Structure 1
Amino acid sequence: MNHSSPENKQGQTEQQFLEAYDVSQFERPSVTVDMLIFTVADEEEQNYRKLSAKSLNILLVKRGDHPFIGQWALPGGFVSPNESLEEAAKRELRTETNIDNIYLEQLYTWGEVDRDPRTRVISTSYMALVNSEALEVVAGDDAAEAEWFQIEDKWLRETKTATPDGSITEKWFELRLQHEEVELTATIKVTKTVAGRIIREHREIVEANQIAFDHAQIIQYALERLRNKIEYTDIAFALMPELFTLTELQQVYEVILGKELLAAAFRRKVADKVIETNQFRKHAGHRPSKYFRFNPEWMDQA
């Protein structure tokens, strides 16, 4: 029996092929990572449009170098040849914002040809929902500043056109990010094409004001995913203390989802995710509220 390495059409074994391999025969794009770090924080000023005194925030860095110098971007940077994507994400987050030891979940890979004016760049984005009170954000590396921006998005309009085998739906969204006197805005168009059983979705930035690269559409996509995840995962509990009231938990859901929820329906929805305790929060002039804690075994019951 012949146990020797199989040969290719040129008569090379794998070892011979690798020794002769010309790494320059294919032009190689650069690879970057971008991080979307969300938190729910108490608002400094009560905004009459808000559902509660809390707001959804995202961490952005002010670019200290070209391209887009002085504009705001997601924390991120280039991946080194000797590190994994996740290692690069954690390193860049640490060096640009001082944030370390948080769980990052891969979101999506962005590969439009002209998304970076420097060169061909493919970026993998990561997302996290964190308790910002436990983090000390400090700008570093090539970031001039690192700040939490209050985030709001608004559906503007929608058109739907029938096609012979399906439909084309176009939706426009406005993204608004605010930190003290700084306001960043963008309009994003999402086109959903249905052709038979094939569904395609395409995002494009109609306009962006002071938001670098294609980061406005990455943020809008991440918001969609975050709202989807809060419905069927335990991601919201990353923001909660060990003991919390159902009203406090509902507030967090409302801020992330951007809508008010009926208390009775919300309580039914989260019933499996929480465990009732025999402890109460005392309110002056109100009935005491019962404390709950997260049920770590809720997934086993699903």
Structure 2
Amino acid sequence: MDAMELRDRSGLTEKEFLQSYDVSLYERPSVTVDMLIFTVTDKEQDNYRKLPEKALQLLLIKRGEHPYLGQWALPGGFVAMHESIEEAAQRELKSETNIDSIYMEQLFTWGDVGRDPRTRVISCSYMALVDRTAMDVKAGDDADEARWFEVTYDLFQEKRTNFDDGFEYEKLMKIALKGELELLTATIKIVETLKGRSTKMITEIVECKGIAFDHAQIIEYAIRRLQNKIEYTDIVFNLMPPLFTLSELQQVYEVILGKELLAAAFRRKIANMVVETNEYTKDAGHRPSKLYRFNSNWNRY
């Protein structure tokens, strides 16, 4: 730099300032990552003639250390000083579940002061929708187990209060996570307020059983985000085989959205996202159905 390099009020150049900077001036909270890995799978059924019912599942780990020893949590851990948040997310997912090299989208940052009993922790959450048949899930590190849980997400109660300049809409959402032996539950309250041009949304955990930290709140937000994303992106095709029927695709949409869809309206909606092939299903017990594939050139915008 030349002699005209900028100096601060103390007369220091940037280089001099950084050499004398005291990192202890400010407390430094810990930073963690939490990963929400969703999948859709077929439920077991007795009647082979029926199209298999599908279920939304979420991968959780059973904590093997304090705090929340023995409870279930999202895979995750602390970010090291030498790595990016994305690198930490991939590393922790691999070490705790054996899942490696998948695309995850950054979801939200959680920073409530009392969210972790150990210390002040800020967490960045990531979300992915994957084909679980391609995953070799194994627990590792501080996780005793890693297991898929079937997710149900339902509106339990709602109330709307109108004001002269807006409204307040409050609802209680019930989350149930069903494992092989465990049933984890949580009730989340969501309050959306509109006053004039100002909007605000607050969520809080009302009741929680078996889910560690504030992860029930993170799961609820992720489900809402996932339901929104499949309306305007091609994320759902991460779950589909190369060839599929429109009925299979519609079932995947329905299980994520939590509602039935009219077949005609659904087929109009996804018409540009799929390409018809000349192949048909050959499953025993079913009438042959036309097979489709994902249209990688569909217009997303």
TM range, smaller chain:
over 0.9
Structure 1 position 165, deviation (Å): 3.0
Deviation larger for 51-60 or 279-288: 279-288
* Conserved? CA contact 2:30–2:122, under 8 Å: yes
Q: State the one-letter code of the partner of 2:124.
A: T
* Conserved? CA contact 2:162–2:168, under 8 Å: yes
| Mapped partners of 1:282, 1:78: distance in 2 | 49
Q: State the one-letter code of the partner of 1:100.
A: D
Structure 1 position 4, deviation (Å): 2.6
Structure 1 position 287, deviation (Å): 4.4
1:10 aligns with 10
2:195 aligns with 195
1:97 aligns with 2:87: no
1:185 aligns with 2:178: no
Report the TM-score, using the length of structure 1 for normalisation. 0.94
Structure 1 position 198, deviation (Å): 1.7
| Mapped partners of 1:236, 1:268: distance in 2 | 16
Residue aligned with 1:103, SS: coil
1:78 aligns with 78
Unaligned 5+ runs, structure 1: none
Structure 1 position 170, deviation (Å): 1.0
| Mapped partners of 1:175, 1:280: distance in 2 | 38
| Mapped partners of 1:284, 1:114: distance in 2 | 56
2:299 aligns with 299
Q: State the one-letter code of the partner of 1:65.
A: E
| Mapped partners of 1:44, 1:85: distance in 2 | 38
Q: State the one-letter code of the partner of 1:72.
A: W
Structure 1 position 45, deviation (Å): 5.4
1:171 aligns with 171
Structure 1 position 279, deviation (Å): 1.2
1:147 aligns with 147
Deviation larger for 68-77 or 162-171: 162-171
Change (3 A) 1:207 1:45: farther
* Conserved? CA contact 2:177–2:185, under 8 Å: yes
| Mapped partners of 1:195, 1:60: distance in 2 | 39
1:43 aligns with 2:43: yes
| Mapped partners of 1:275, 1:137: distance in 2 | 33
Residue aligned with 1:254, SS: helix
Instruction: Give CA deviations for 1:57-105 in whole Å, capped at 9, x if unaligned.
Output: 0000000011100000000000001100100000000000000011100
Instruction: Give CA deviations for 1:82-132 in whole Å, capped at 9, x if unaligned.
Output: 100100000000000000011100000000010000000000000000000
Structure 1 position 180, deviation (Å): 1.5
Report the TM-score, using the length of structure 2 for normalisation. 0.95
Residue aligned with 2:268, SS: helix
Change (3 A) 1:231 1:90: same
Q: State the one-letter code of the partner of 1:202.
A: I
Change (3 A) 1:212 1:277: same
| Mapped partners of 1:67, 1:283: distance in 2 | 49
2:269 aligns with 269
Instruction: Give 1:17-166 correspondences, 5 Å limit.
Output: 17-44=17-44, 53-166=53-166
Aligned residues: 296
| Mapped partners of 1:228, 1:292: distance in 2 | 24
Residue aligned with 1:10, SS: coil
| Mapped partners of 1:189, 1:112: distance in 2 | 16
Structure 1 position 195, deviation (Å): 1.9
Structure 1 position 285, deviation (Å): 6.6
- Between the aligned residues of both structures, percent identity stands at 62
Structure 1 position 52, deviation (Å): 5.7
Structure 1 position 163, deviation (Å): 3.3
* Conserved? CA contact 1:42–1:53, under 8 Å: yes
Unaligned 5+ runs, structure 2: none
| Mapped partners of 1:284, 1:43: distance in 2 | 18
* Conserved? CA contact 2:61–2:147, under 8 Å: yes
* Conserved? CA contact 1:99–1:137, under 8 Å: yes
* Conserved? CA contact 2:45–2:52, under 8 Å: no
2:281 aligns with 281
Q: State the one-letter code of the partner of 1:148.
A: W
